[in-house]
Amino acid sequence: MLTKSVWNQFASPNTYPSLNNDITADVAIIGGGVTGISTARLLTQNGLNVVVLESMKVGGGTTSHSSGNLYFTVDKNLSQFHDKYDFGVIRKIITSRSAALNQIEEWVKEFFLDCDFNRVPWFLYSGIADNNSKIESEYTYAREADVPVDWAEAAPVPLSFTKAVEVKNQAQVNPMRYVQELAQAIQSDNLSIFENTRVTNVNEHKDHIVIETTGGTVTAQYAVHATHTPKGINILQTLLGPYREYGIACPAGDKHFPEGIFWGYHEDGKKFSSLIYERNGHRYVLVIGEPHKVGQSEDSIKAIRNLEAFAEKHYGLTEVAFRWGGQHYRPADLLPYIGSESKTSNVFVATGYSTDGLVYGTLAGMIIAGEISETPNEWAGLYNAHRFTPVKTNVAGRRRTVGSIGSSTERTGIVYGILQSLPSCRECRSGSINH
Ligand SMILES: Cc1cc2nc3c(=O)[nH]c(=O)nc-3n(C[C@H](O)[C@H](O)[C@H](O)COP(=O)(O)OP(=O)(O)OC[C@H]3O[C@@H](n4cnc5c(N)ncnc54)[C@H](O)[C@@H]3O)c2cc1C
């Protein structure tokens, strides 16, 4: 079983040195994925001195395992958001994601990033009539949230469908090349990137932070955990559900397939995502799906076989060139956690993106850079990493009589809120990272 994604074949890697001495910086960013590099771009643009510490290769983490789809909406349907939030909030989510998608496009154009960024339509369809109601409710919620959604009557969906909706002007990118090319393009005197440099400890003191690594120490005013999920002991981990999802890439030969993001509900309500990717004359159909909670039904071979069966049945493709799996983290109240760890901390986190993190990772850069540069971003409050939302962490809880505390998630939310409301003692806060 191969474990590298298709993006590795077309990577644009640069080699950065490892850290081997003690240095200082305004901001130390831990992790060189889409979150870390986007944050670095915006902070250096604001004149700060930034260090990126990457334990492996820039762009080689979860970013390189994604599908490369960029869209305003979210993988978890808007109907689920509507169970927890009013349309005012849902509109803000859509607007903030749209701004982040535009930011990605701006950088692609500004730096001439060779990363196959294309504007394409996004489709959500039902492969069988049993799932039509899902599409109908998504259409209604999307309209209400001002998403420019339309019915796709005779759309170029390559798969047979019983009902479909379309949002034009979404996008696709080679995510690994995008991050690698962006990192290369933003090189400057106030940015240092170190690879093969693992952060082992983050110690926040009263007026500075000491970041210990396998090669030396960085003393900084601010630290950003851009590691997909905060490493070490972090209370946020109790609010995140770890999931695994799989992908395959099948050579498409000369067969014609239209461009677009195709998310479909099929038998047993299963959702599959598929798309076509082409570079240097190589064409692949990618199929992504079969998510499961980590620790439950860990049969990755079966998951990959199901994706292969999907590719054969719906695209007529039997050869598979790449197979991979990747982890993602679903937040209890459906929104990512982005911002400072607590009201008084200069350590920032960005996590809980579900499978929407290429756009959320960019948005995290916009929010965190805004907070550090003291030009707060208008969406910072929505994604606040130390928000206290005990009821929204559980839908059932919202519907229960006020005052009753039931689920463990809800109780965790309350414990978290109490912990966050305690004054922080920087001298005694330290986070050991064993990754
Ligand atoms: C199968 C799958 C499909 C997906 N499809 C999409 C999609 O189509 N669209 C979308 O928007 N999102 C998608 N996602 C989600 C998206 O890939 C992630 O949310 C996003 O890439 C996270 O970016 P990141 O920079 O936060 O994390 P990463 O890309 O994982 O970067 C974190 C980096 O931190 C480094 N690191 C970790 N620990 C340390 C340490 N101690 N010291 C130093 N460095 C460290 C890692 O090596 C890594 O390079 C998908 C995810 C999966 C799993």
- Atom index in ligand 1 nearest the CA of residue 198 equals 42
Centre a 10 Å sphere on the Cβ of residue 334 and count the other Cβ atoms it contains. 20
Domain count within the chain:
2
What kind and span of H or E run contains 135? helix 132-144
Strands 217-225 and 209-213, bridge-based pairing: antiparallel
- pLDDT tens readout for residues 196-237: 999 999 999 999 999 999 999 999 999 999 999 987 767 788
Q: With cut-offs at 50, 70 and 90, classify the pLDDT of residue 109.
A: very high
What per-residue confidence (pLDDT) applies to 180? Answer: 98
Question: Could you tell me the two tokens for 304?
Answer: 């990959």
Same domain as 163, residue 128: yes
Residue nearest to atom 19 of ligand 1 (CA): 357
- Give yes or no for residue 126 CB within 6 A of ligand 1: no
Same domain as 187, residue 326: no
Same domain as 246, residue 165: yes
Whether pLDDT at 401 is above 50: no
What per-residue confidence (pLDDT) applies to 382? Answer: 96
Residue closest to 217 by CA, chosen among 233, 236, 192, 200: 200
User: Beta strands of 232-372 (E only): which ranges?
Assistant: 240-251, 261-265, 271-279, 282-293, 322-331, 337-340, 347-351
Task: Compute, in angstroms, the gap from residue 358 CA to the centroid of ligand 1.
Answer: 8
**Residue 221: helix, strand or coil by DSSP?**
strand
What per-residue confidence (pLDDT) applies to 402? Answer: 29
- Give yes or no for residue 331 CB within 6 A of ligand 1: no
Same domain as 312, residue 256: yes
Residue closest to 27 by CA, chosen among 348, 350, 362: 348
Q: With cut-offs at 50, 70 and 90, classify the pLDDT of residue 425.
A: very low
Same domain as 428, residue 303: no
Cα gap 49→43, rounded to integer Å: 8
Same domain as 399, residue 318: no
Cα gap 178→176, rounded to integer Å: 5
Whether pLDDT at 411 is above 50: no
Average pLDDT over residues 279-292: 94
Q: With cut-offs at 50, 70 and 90, classify the pLDDT of residue 264.
A: very high
CATH number at residue 251: 3.30.9.10
Q: With cut-offs at 50, 70 and 90, classify the pLDDT of residue 239.
A: confident
- Give yes or no for residue 355 CB within 6 A of ligand 1: yes
Task: Compute, in angstroms, the gap from residue 61 CA to the centroid of ligand 1.
Answer: 5
Q: Which of 328, 335, 349, 366 to mutate to test the pocket of ligand 1 (most atoms within 8 A of CB)?
A: 328
Average pLDDT, the chain: 88
- Give yes or no for residue 354 CB within 6 A of ligand 1: no
- Give yes or no for residue 288 CB within 6 A of ligand 1: yes
Whether 21 is covered by a domain: the verdict is: yes
Centre a 10 Å sphere on the Cβ of residue 388 and count the other Cβ atoms it contains. 16
Centre a 10 Å sphere on the Cβ of residue 177 and count the other Cβ atoms it contains. 23
Task: Compute, in angstroms, the gap from residue 254 CA to the centroid of ligand 1.
Answer: 32
Same domain as 338, residue 323: no
Cα gap 310→316, rounded to integer Å: 9
260 backbone dihedrals φ, ψ, rounded to 5°: 155, 170
Average pLDDT over residues 143-148: 94
- Give yes or no for residue 173 CB within 6 A of ligand 1: no
Whether 377 is covered by a domain: the verdict is: yes
Residue nearest to atom 3 of ligand 1 (CA): 66
Residue nearest to atom 32 of ligand 1 (CA): 227
* Final residue belonging to a domain, choices 330, 355, 388: 330
Whether 89 is covered by a domain: the verdict is: no
Rg (CA), the chain: 21
Structural domain boundaries, residue 314: 117-170+240-330
Whether pLDDT at 410 is above 60: no
Same domain as 148, residue 52: no
What per-residue confidence (pLDDT) applies to 9? Answer: 94
Q: Which of 201, 355, 356 to mutate to test the pocket of ligand 1 (most atoms within 8 A of CB)?
A: 355
Whether 293 is covered by a domain: the verdict is: yes
Same domain as 313, residue 370: no
Q: How far is CA 35 from the centre of its chain?
A: 8
Same domain as 229, residue 245: no
Average pLDDT over residues 157-171: 90
CA distances (Å), origin 52, targets 100, 192, 330, 339, 365:
21, 6, 25, 18, 13
Between 37-51, 63-77, 333-347, 378-392, the lowest mean confidence (pLDDT) is in 378-392
- Give yes or no for residue 328 CB within 6 A of ligand 1: yes
Whether 88 is covered by a domain: the verdict is: no
CB 349 within 8 A of CB 342: no
- Give yes or no for residue 289 CB within 6 A of ligand 1: no
CATH number at residue 35: 3.50.50.60
What per-residue confidence (pLDDT) applies to 100? Answer: 98
What kind and span of H or E run contains 45? helix 34-45
Whether 360 is covered by a domain: the verdict is: yes
Task: Compute, in angstroms, the gap from residue 316 CA to the centroid of ligand 1.
Answer: 31
Whether pLDDT at 257 is above 60: yes
- Give yes or no for residue 69 CB within 6 A of ligand 1: yes
Whether pLDDT at 132 is above 80: yes
Same domain as 253, residue 149: yes
What kind and span of H or E run contains 26? strand 23-30
Average pLDDT over residues 55-82: 94
- pLDDT tens readout for residues 180-207: 999 999 999 999 999 999 999 999 999 9
What per-residue confidence (pLDDT) applies to 1? Answer: 55
- pLDDT tens readout for residues 347-359: 999 999 999 999 9
What per-residue confidence (pLDDT) applies to 433? Answer: 54
Question: Could you tell me the two tokens for 9?
Answer: 């074949």
Residue nearest to atom 14 of ligand 1 (CA): 355
What per-residue confidence (pLDDT) applies to 409? Answer: 38
* Final residue belonging to a domain, choices 330, 345, 365: 330
- Give yes or no for residue 359 CB within 6 A of ligand 1: yes
Same domain as 143, residue 253: yes
**Residue 241: helix, strand or coil by DSSP?**
strand
Task: Give the torsion sign (CA, 398, 400, 405, 406).
Answer: negative
Cα gap 28→149, rounded to integer Å: 40
Average pLDDT over residues 251-257: 89
* Final residue belonging to a domain, choices 330, 355, 390: 330
Average pLDDT over residues 162-168: 94
Residue that wins the pLDDT comparison between 295 and 112: 112
Q: With cut-offs at 50, 70 and 90, classify the pLDDT of residue 148.
A: very high
Q: With cut-offs at 50, 70 and 90, classify the pLDDT of residue 378.
A: very high
Whether 350 is covered by a domain: the verdict is: yes
- Atom index in ligand 1 nearest the CA of residue 226 equals 26
Q: Which long-range contacts (CB under 8 A, 24 or more apart) does 396-400 make?
A: 398/83, 398/84
**Residue 411: helix, strand or coil by DSSP?**
helix
- Give yes or no for residue 127 CB within 6 A of ligand 1: no
Task: Compute, in angstroms, the gap from residue 406 CA to the centroid of ligand 1.
Answer: 33
CB 243 within 8 A of CB 330: yes
Whether 92 is covered by a domain: the verdict is: no
Question: Could you tell me the two tokens for 50?
Answer: 């930034």
Q: Is 268 left (phi over 0), alpha (psi -120 to 50) or beta?
A: left
Residue nearest to atom 48 of ligand 1 (CA): 61
Q: Which of 358, 360, 362, 368 to mutate to test the pocket of ligand 1 (most atoms within 8 A of CB)?
A: 358
Residue nearest to atom 33 of ligand 1 (CA): 31
